[in-house]
Amino acid sequence: MKTVLITGCSSGFGLEIAKYFLNHEWKVIATMRAPSDDILPKSEHLRVLKLDVTDAESIRRAVEEAGAIDVLVNNAGVGMLGPFESTSMDAVRDVFETNTFGTMAMTQAFLPQFRARRAGAVVNVASTVTLKALPLLPVYTASKAAVVAFTQSLALELKEFNIRVGVVLPGMAPETAFASNASGRIAQAFPEDYSATMHAVMSGFQNYVGPVTHSIDVAKAVWQVVQDGSTAFRVPAGADAVEWFNEVA
């Protein structure tokens, strides 16, 4: 029985990915900043570990407790929605610490065991905003675009060790409350000149009626990267993500 370690499992994509792998009879190590035994279904194949991907000591402990794994899914992430002009550089660094550097740190921590076994897979969760830019998301987009570029280069670097590396690109996922969480990360006021754009973007999120991405779509895309050795390194997840992906392909 194979083992997958997934970051950011307290809600949204991470929670669904964990459930999906459990349903496919994998051992699952679900990590989160504040572990809870009530989030995931009870299973003898489930372990819940405390992990903060921005903390080196927390990563070290998680790697030690996890032991040997077959797949690492870097899903933990934070949003950022608002005008760049009024976004502090501390806030910018905070987003990159989780979305980009956290992904890199986790990957680096598990690569030695994958390389030693000449086997393993790393799946990073990014976003389709890296394919089609939207206003008020420059920091979030940049942090996820860095993950895509990192994944592409790493896939080439690790191919000789039989380590598969891929990135999943979800689209708009209203069920994850991304918009409200992302907008909440900008505490300071922004210039009035941006109000119309902010209102339009928020209204767009709230009133959107087109195709969307569901958490199960992301879980299936992660599964595809893990199971299909011939798949491209970028995999869209969700009907809207597929549309955007095909537009730029």
Known catalytic residues are 140
Single out the residue of 113, 162, 106, 121 nearest to residue 4, CA to CA.
Answer: 121
CB 99 within 8 A of CB 147: yes
Q: What is the DSSP letter of 185?
A: T
Q: For tokens 């489930």, what's the residue? A: 46
Cβ-Cβ contacts under 8 Å for 188 (sequence gap 6 or more):
86, 88
- If one counts every other C-beta atom within 10 angstroms of the C-beta of residue 116, the result is 11
Cβ-Cβ contacts under 8 Å for 107 (sequence gap 6 or more):
72, 74, 122, 124, 154
